[in-house]
Amino acid sequence: MSVSRRVSQEALLAVVTAGTAYLALSPGLHEALHVAYNYAFTGGHVAGCGLGPWTLDGGRMVTCFAPGGRPALNALLTPVTTALAGVGLMWASPRARRAGVRRGLLVAGAAAWLVQSLYGMGLLTPPALDSHGVTVWGDGIAALGAFGWPAVAPGACVLALGALVLRRRVAVRTRDATLWAWK
C-alpha cells in the first residue's frame, strides 16, 4: 500500500472517529446525564415527553424534568461532567492502536471539553427560536441564574484541567518539522 493511500485512510478514519465520538459525547452523553441526574434527584422518576424523556424545543433537543428534581443543580453538573468525559477521552486517546483513531479521539475529546466547559459557564450558548424570535438559554445561563458567579468555577476548573491535558498531548515543533505533532 502506498504511503499517500495509507495517510488518506488514516485521515478518513480520524474524521469518522472524531465525528462519531463527538456526537456520542456532546449531545448524547450530555442529555443522558440530564436524565440520570434528574432520576437521582427525584428518587427514581423520569418525565416522559415527545421522544421518551426528551423533546425538541426551538430546534434544540432538551430533557423534560420530572417534578421534584433540582434543575439548577442538574444544569450545573451536566456540562461539567460531559466536559470531564472529553478530558478523559483526550487523556486516553494515546492508548488507541491506529494513528487515525488516536487523532480522532483526541479531536473529539478536545471539542467536547471546550464546548461543554464554555457552555457550562454560560459563555457559549447556541441561539434558539421561540415565539418572540431568537433567544439564548442553556445550562450555564440557568446555573448562573440560580447560583450566581460561583457557578462559573466548576467549568473554569475543567477548562484549565483540559488545557493541561491537551498541552501534554500536542507538541509544537521547530520550523523544519511539521507545525503540530500528535503524541
pTM of this prediction?
0.82
Res 177: pLDDT: 53
The mean pLDDT value of the chain amounts to 84
Average pLDDT over residues 74-92: 94
Tens of pLDDT along 19-44?
888 887 778 888 889 989 989 988 88
Average the pLDDT over each of 85-89, 106-110, 151-155, 178-182 and give the range with the smallest value. 178-182
| DSSP label of 64 | P
Dihedrals phi, psi of 170, to nearest 5 degrees: -120, 130
DSSP H/E element including 76: helix 71-92
Dist CA 80 CA 29 (whole Å): 12
Res 176: pLDDT: 53
Res 4: pLDDT: 60
Tens of pLDDT along 110-168?
999 999 999 999 998 877 777 888 888 889 999 999 999 999 999 999 999 999 999 98
At 144 the three-state DSSP class reads helix
Q: Residues in the chain, how many?
A: 183
Dihedrals phi, psi of 173, to nearest 5 degrees: -105, 170
Dist CA 21 CA 27 (whole Å): 10
Dihedrals phi, psi of 128, to nearest 5 degrees: -130, 150
| DSSP label of 136 | E
Which residue from 128, 114, 109 is spatially nearest to 24, judged by alpha carbons? 109
For the chain, give the longest Cα–Cα distance.
61
